[in-house]
Amino acid sequence: MIKRLARRLRRVLDPAPLAPAAAAERGRDRAGLPDPDPGIERAVDEAVAWLGRAQDHSRTQDGGVARHYSLLDGWGGSYPETTGYIVPTLLDIARIRGGPIAEEARRRARRMLDWLVSIQFPEGGFQGGMIDQEPVVPVTFNTGQILLGLAAGVEEFGEAYIEPMRRAADWLVTTQDPDGCWRKYPTPFAAPGEKAYETHVAWGLLEAARAEGSAGGTRYADSALANVSWALNHQAANGWFAKCCLEDEDQPLSHTLGYLLRGLVEAYLFAKDPALLKAAMKTADGLLSAIRADGYLPGRIGRNWRGTVRWSCLTGSAQVAGCWLLLHEQTGRPSYRDAARAANQYVRRTIKVEGPPETRGAVKGSFPIDGGYCTFLYPNWACKFFVDSNLLERRILSEGEAH
């Protein structure tokens, strides 16, 4: 909270004017959400194209995906963590689209994987932050996210990525505390302390377990489910979670709540334990109470599920929408589907499908763009989660029409 207040104070006291592009975008956003919805197909195509440009224009030019495009200072360096989980998104696009688009998506995914393998620490972990940031130390959360990409690489490309996947998964298992929490290798780029949203790390281990199969995946699955069990100790009766934010656990970001919820959903899909489904639904229902009819989900949410800010974290909106859609598939509840469609449409309305290539198809950190999450940035993970959620919405709608 102190860091956030300091940033706000600096913005108030700093007399330097905003860059023209940033000032113009802030003005447009403050005028209100644009009316046109470009639709799933157009928005996804533009978002996927932007991810390709983010890879090509990374400041470090190494095969990874630029962390963001900033209206203040341009493209960022490659970001190992999110490059890792962009890989499964591109491989999904390859399976859906076919033809030249599929070939390019597979080529880009493989280039990302080869870069990630080249920067893996010998013991199996991966660094936090951008590739050119310091300190360069192994981090639990980032390793878990890259593990999602390595497991997808094993499924798609075979043996080339099996050893890096195993080393990453083994490192996570051996560095886990007996109670299921990971405490030894926190990120230096967030507030210290235990993080319940590392259920998203557990998901990485579950994907590694699937890739290994019954012969070798049990150890990974046991570790993942132990972490989920630990996290559930911090779930309140109304579904809200403590220890679930980068910097302010009294009002977590929808982004980190989305991470946590996805981990719960994936744990249920793997283990089919009804208790896990019940826990996921409690959190999902709490988030339902926070969304407006127009799809606006507050960027930070308090213990009573009421928004504490007036801006939306678009990353979190896309993540939560994806979780609602997965739960709709499992439960048949229309409220999950309808809320997800509203949230996805809200995010789509913030996206430009024409204009400069640096921002066309990109997803803002916040709406308005000067909100409190990734201010004046278009982070690559917002785009990735947007693509995932819209592809899932399209599939569910298509299946509904078929029946």
Q: CB of 4 within 8 A of CB of 248?
A: yes
> Which pLDDT belongs to residue 8?
54
pTM confidence score = 0.95
pLDDT in tens, 33-82: 998 999 999 999 999 999 999 999 999 999 999 999 999 999 999 999 99
Residue 102 has pLDDT above 80, yes or no: yes
Residue 157 has pLDDT above 60, yes or no: yes
The count of residues in the chain is: 403
Would you list the domain boundaries of the chain? Answer: 39-402
> Which pLDDT belongs to residue 120?
98
> Which pLDDT belongs to residue 205?
98
Nearest CA to 393 among 332, 330, 343, 352?
Answer: 343
pLDDT level of residue 17 (50, 70, 90 thresholds): confident
Residue 9 has pLDDT above 70, yes or no: no
> Which pLDDT belongs to residue 3?
56
> Which pLDDT belongs to residue 12?
44
Residue 401 has pLDDT above 90, yes or no: no
Residue 15 has pLDDT above 50, yes or no: no
Mean pLDDT of all residues in 256-277: 98
> Which pLDDT belongs to residue 2?
54
CA distances from 187 to 12, 137, 138, 259 (A): 29, 8, 8, 16
Mean pLDDT of all residues in 129-157: 98
Q: What whole-number distance in Å separates Cα of residue 254 and Cα of residue 320?
A: 8
CATH of domain 39-402: 1.50.10.10
Q: For residue 101, give every residue at least 6 positions away whose Cβ sits within 8 Å of its Cβ, in sequence order, or none.
A: 48, 93, 94
Report the percentage of the chain scoring pLDDT > 90: 92
Mean pLDDT of all residues in 136-149: 98
CB atoms within 10 A of CB 306: 11
Give the mean pLDDT of the chain. Answer: 95
Mean pLDDT of all residues in 3-30: 74
Mean pLDDT of all residues in 297-318: 98
CB atoms within 10 A of CB 88: 20
